[in-house]
Amino acid sequence: MVNLTPFVVNLAPFMVNLTPFVVNLTPFVVKLAQLDINWTQFMVILTQFVVNLTQFVVNLTQFVVNLTLFVVNLAPFVVNLAPFVVNLAQLDINWTQFMVNLTQFVVNLIPFVVNLAQLVINLSVPALEHPEAPTPWWDAEADKSLLIGVFKHGYERYHTMRADPALCFLEKAGRPDDTAIAAEQRLDGADG
């Protein structure tokens, strides 16, 4: 039987981080209603965003389908492994050699796990139309880093995201002022 506990455990922080996003979206919508905006152009941009978001959801769904197929294909291996384990327990084995062989098996398994992790990391984020990008260097990599940064650091933690070497902002925009990062972290403490 496949253990889905790690998947559920990893899903929980996403759901927890989604709640502040939804809560913080309300003031944005209120402020948006107060602005003098070309609503036709806004609706065109919003429609394109929804189309791109839908494509992202389709890609994510395909990833989940592929992951499910992987788990389904893994099940017979696990089932066939059970008799081997039972027979192994009944054998007089040189456990030192067994541990050497098991270690080699794990070492050989590492590239597979790395490739699987890269598959997850390289999920394609649909390209968004940017009629008015926030800055001239903003691109699809910045979109992806922003999504990862919000998930990793929280909504509106821009200075912390800029300082994160795993995201593209440090290279493209430079390190933010340490006092700005510290102020952002004090806000985190006040929120919690």
How confident is the model over 59-82, as pLDDT tens digits? 888 888 888 888 888 888 778 788
Residues 6+ apart with CB under 8 A from 173: 135, 137, 162
Total domains in the chain come to: 1
Residue 24 lies in a domain: no
Higher pLDDT, 5 or 165: 165
Residue 11 lies in a domain: no
Q: Which residue has the tokens 């919508």?
A: 29
Residues 6+ apart with CB under 8 A from 32: none
The mean pLDDT of 179-192, rounded to a whole number, is: 74
Residue 68 lies in a domain: no
Q: What is the pLDDT of residue 163?
A: 92
Between CA 22 and CA 36 the distance in angstroms is 24
Residue 177 lies in a domain: yes
Q: What is the pLDDT of residue 140?
A: 83
Residue 159 lies in a domain: yes
Among 67, 50, 65, residue whose Cα is nearest residue 120: 67
The separation between the first and the last C-alpha atoms of the chain, rounded to the nearest angstrom, is 38
Q: Which domain holds residue 178?
A: 140-191
Residue 162 lies in a domain: yes
Which CA distances in Å does 55 have to 62, 126, 181? 10, 7, 34
Q: What is the pLDDT of residue 171?
A: 93
Residue 2 lies in a domain: no
Least confident of 39-43, 50-54, 135-139: 39-43
pTM over 0.75? The answer is no
The mean pLDDT of 15-25, rounded to a whole number, is: 73
DSSP letter for each residue of 136-182: TT--HHHHHHHHHHHHHH-TT-HHHHHH-TTSTHHHHH-PPPHHHHH
Identify the DSSP state of 3: -
Residue 155 lies in a domain: yes
pLDDT at 138 over 80: yes
